[in-house]
Structure 1
């Protein structure tokens, strides 16, 4: 029997609990009012009657009895009315609360079943219920976005891996059957496909670590111009081979960054951002074109802009260029050899440093511009790591 009671109590819903609590409050309040009225009222009435001179004692006793009866009857009727009103209001309130919570419970159960389209309508029950509905809806939308990204990423990853794996499998099978020979050219091609898979694996691991905040960084004040100089120097040979001009310029507006302009960053990571942007510009700029790297100093940030006069980006694609595996022209980009996550890596690393990265293009054939904004390092008595260090 003692075990059954807790089970029954545990099954009570919120509306029942609220109703019981309100009834208990009304009963306690009524009992308190009854005790106070029974003790205080007659005493005060007797004191006033005693002050009236010439009053017959029998009349006083009769008046006091009449007072007690009238007070008790009036108080009983008032408490009964209060009890009925409280029960009615409590039933209405608990019903409203229960109806307002039902959509939240239903939506939460749908989300638990991986139905992320569930939404909670506005209940009209105040700020708290509104905040609860907004929180559940935001959670569902975030989970829906994550699930869509996960599904798309797995599909894109499988698509990216299919070509090199098929190539490796086909050639290995042909070599085993004696249809191909493992000469230098074939082995070089196989090594290239293995390297492509290795790069893809490393890029996915890097962008995932950055997005989840697990990216290891060794931050220290570093010269902006040193980072730009090193990235341009490393890319010069690739640009020369493609006959694309690569130029470093000062900003056309504002103040150009100088050798003593420092940012608190992991220099290798930011160099990787610039390398990815330069590689992206090189892939989409035809021979004879030009790519420009410009720096601009603002009061609290520095802007590094990589712009080209190449293929450009259609307006409907600009907002998606930082998505993993997103390609404006799938066949053409894949032929260029990109893994499809270079810009995603650049975005994740930049945001991990507290910065932002944006893309802009006036349309196809009119080039593109990528701007990295990084907060300046706080001034310190120690010299920055820069040229000649």
Structure 2
């Protein structure tokens, strides 16, 4: 989705870019030619006559011989004419080269200028064509195109985020409005059950607002973490205890390798990560299934994994499960009462700790594994 242009249409830049670049190139060439000509004339005047005179004397001619004087004068005049012709030819060649370079570089810069102007106007589908001026210009075009793609993705995400937030707000707001109007009209009494419904919807709105704030702060890098060394097995046991098996729920198993090093994490925030993952796994695992929490050493880090034997995730949905409000066929964070943002929060909090959060699944019906990898000091 591309936002419509909101500002004035971009100016026609190519002519201005070419004229400005051409003027600067010509000015630089004039300066170089003048400096080079002056230097060549001074060197020729200082060195040439004396050297020529020395050779004439070495040839057996007298210092004041008329032939020598005439030859020296002819040498000076010939040198001056040759130098002038050479400088003139250099000037013509330089102007020609300048015009060619100006046109080629000007066209490429004009394309970049026009594309960035259209990007500034909100046309995020704009791209800069590749030029034939070398790697530097190709890198410039690639950088502008990468920027355009990022802006286009951000705009698409912003539009979807606004639509999804509106969707999430619609149900609790409609419920609150309906119940309040019913109470005002005397259709429904303000009893304990009515208050409970109103409170539940208010809590839902509060949780949504807090979730959005958490993921925004974490992704923005301004989340303050109170880090301390924690044993990985303690994190898993706490997460498992918070979701102890209930009648009709799946079994919970904690399996931690012995001798694992401690990880420096904000215990509250990492508990939030694991709580989201375990709650998500429990929601999507049948009563006869199992949710397994494991901790293992890998390279220079520690992996905390939550594996379930539940619904699984389709291959086309795996790259998107950590996006805010993502809707999928199985909608692992959506259809069972989640707001669709828990996994996004978990990934953002994990990355704020310098770690990674990944998801794997063999497909629908094959369960899924979410793995938190944390660095070890």
When residues 232 and 156 of structure 1 are mapped into structure 2, their CA distance, relative to the original with a 3 A threshold, is same
Partner residue of 2:254 out of 248, 260, 266: 248
Give the alignment of 1:300-311 within 5 angstroms: 300-311=300-311
Normalised TM-score (structure 1) = 0.88
SS in 2 for 1:13: helix
Matched, 1:213 2:232: no
Matched, 1:350 2:350: yes
The question of whether the paired residues in 2 share the 8 Å contact of 1:289 and 1:310 is answered with yes
Normalised TM-score (structure 2) = 0.90
In structure 2, the residue matched to 1:31 is 38
Give the alignment of 1:1-389 within 5 angstroms: 13-53=20-60, 55=62, 57-236=65-244, 239-250=245-256, 256-258=257-259, 261-329=261-329, 334=334, 336-376=336-376, 378=377
Q: Deviations over 1:225-262 (max 9, x none)?
A: 111111111111xx314422111124xxxxx144x630
When residues 352 and 273 of structure 1 are mapped into structure 2, their CA distance, relative to the original with a 3 A threshold, is same
In structure 2, the residue matched to 1:385 is none
**Number of matched pairs:** 360
SS in 2 for 1:240: coil
SS in 1 for 2:286: coil
The question of whether the paired residues in 2 share the 8 Å contact of 1:306 and 1:371 is answered with yes
Could you tell me how far 1:44 is from its partner in structure 2?
A: 1.8
When residues 312 and 66 of structure 1 are mapped into structure 2, their CA distance, relative to the original with a 3 A threshold, is same
Residues in 2 aligned to 1:332 and 1:79: alpha-carbon distance in whole angstroms: 77
Runs of at least 5 residues in structure 1 that lack an aligned partner in the other structure: 1-9, 251-255, 379-389
Residues in 1 aligned to 2:374 and 2:276: alpha-carbon distance in whole angstroms: 16
The question of whether the paired residues in 2 share the 8 Å contact of 1:225 and 1:261 is answered with no
The question of whether the paired residues in 1 share the 8 Å contact of 2:263 and 2:374 is answered with yes
Residues in 1 aligned to 2:151 and 2:26: alpha-carbon distance in whole angstroms: 36
When residues 288 and 92 of structure 1 are mapped into structure 2, their CA distance, relative to the original with a 3 A threshold, is same
Runs of at least 5 residues in structure 2 that lack an aligned partner in the other structure: 1-16
Residues in 1 aligned to 2:171 and 2:82: alpha-carbon distance in whole angstroms: 91
SS in 2 for 1:307: strand
SS in 1 for 2:195: helix
The question of whether the paired residues in 2 share the 8 Å contact of 1:281 and 1:307 is answered with yes
The question of whether the paired residues in 2 share the 8 Å contact of 1:100 and 1:123 is answered with yes
Return 53-62 or 161-170, whichever deviates more: 53-62
When residues 53 and 316 of structure 1 are mapped into structure 2, their CA distance, relative to the original with a 3 A threshold, is closer
Return 60-69 or 365-374, whichever deviates more: 60-69
What's the C-alpha RMSD, in Å, of the aligned pairs? 2.0
Could you tell me how far 1:332 is from its partner in structure 2?
A: 8.9
The question of whether the paired residues in 2 share the 8 Å contact of 1:23 and 1:87 is answered with no
Residues in 1 aligned to 2:253 and 2:61: alpha-carbon distance in whole angstroms: 118
Residues in 2 aligned to 1:163 and 1:266: alpha-carbon distance in whole angstroms: 34
When residues 162 and 330 of structure 1 are mapped into structure 2, their CA distance, relative to the original with a 3 A threshold, is farther
Could you tell me how far 1:328 is from its partner in structure 2?
A: 2.1
Residues in 2 aligned to 1:201 and 1:360: alpha-carbon distance in whole angstroms: 29
Could you tell me how far 1:29 is from its partner in structure 2?
A: 0.5
Could you tell me how far 1:12 is from its partner in structure 2?
A: 6.4
SS in 2 for 1:365: coil
